[in-house]
Amino acid sequence: MPGTILFDLFHTLLDGADAERDRVVARMGEIVGVEPTALVLAYHVTWRDRLVRWSAEETVRLLARRLGGDPSPEQVARAAALRLELASWLLNSAPASTLVALDGLRAAGWRLGLVSNATAEVAEAWPSSGLSRRFDVAVFSCVAGVAKPEPGIYQAAAAALGVAPQRCVFVGDGADGELAGAAAVGAAVVRTAEFVDRSSVWAGPVVGSLAELSGLLGEMPVGRGVLQRGASAA
Ligand SMILES: [Mg+2]
């Protein structure tokens, strides 16, 4: 019987677009008057803070000041707007095959939740994306104040769906230790290699694309914990 699936977002439902992110941050550096490559590096090294603490505007203001800049509120707002634009673009870049797979799962009776390590502008752009209406619940680290692989973010999504984490399947590419984190709260785990193949972090069940998920789930005794024994390969 269908149950509940929790999905990761980036590199699971759509491409992570890492190069495009760097390009946008470099352009933001020009806007706020700091060395673009230095700002890109500053974004990379502060990812944990950006996931759970800072808004888009706080981030660019704080990092620009750390790099010796003194951007005006108008410069900060213009730079932050580029991040929101990027987030909107990313969220609307899911392949048609992803949308078809999600629609098929919903039609089969599965309830779908999103559990994403994401910065503030992604949560802001989410409601107007085509993906959002395919999900019953979305939990973003920047809103929840907790990021994968911490138990709280999975538990928040499961609670919002009215189920125990042990009754959920978690599907993700495996970044940030998210598969081990999901297994730790008792979820069954499926790794996806559609956008990036992190076979080194998880030795359990894997799909090559979301189109394969329905077939795999049909073979899984979901909720009885069998797949959660998929061991970490790390
Ligand atoms: Mg991911």
141: CA distance to ligand 1 center in Å? Answer: 13
Do 53 and 86 lie in a common domain?
A: yes
Q: How far is the CA of 8 from the centre of ligand 1 (A)?
A: 6
Are 32 and 116 part of one and the same domain?
Answer: no
Q: Is residue 234 part of a domain?
A: no
Establish if 56 belongs to a structural domain.
yes
Q: What are phi and psi of 78, to 5 degrees?
A: -65, -40
Q: Which two tokens stand for residue 179?
A: 């598969």
CA dihedral 170, 173, 176, 181 (to 10 degrees): 20
Domain final residue pick, 59, 91, 123: 91
What digits encode the pLDDT tens for the residues 19-44? 999 999 999 999 999 999 999 999 99
Q: Are residues 107 and 84 in the same domain?
A: no
How far is it, in rounded angstroms, from Cα 117 to Cα 122? 10
Entry pTM: 0.90
The domain that holds 148 is classified in CATH as 3.40.50.1000
pLDDT of residue 165: 96
Residues 49 and 139 in one domain: no
Which of 45, 74, 91 is the endpoint of a domain? 91
Domain that holds residue 224: 4-15+94-229
**Residues 160 and 84 occupy one common structural domain:** no
Summarised one tens digit per residue, pLDDT across range 122-133 is 999 999 999 999
Closest CA to 113 of 8, 12, 210: 8
Distance 207 CA to ligand 1 centre (A): 14
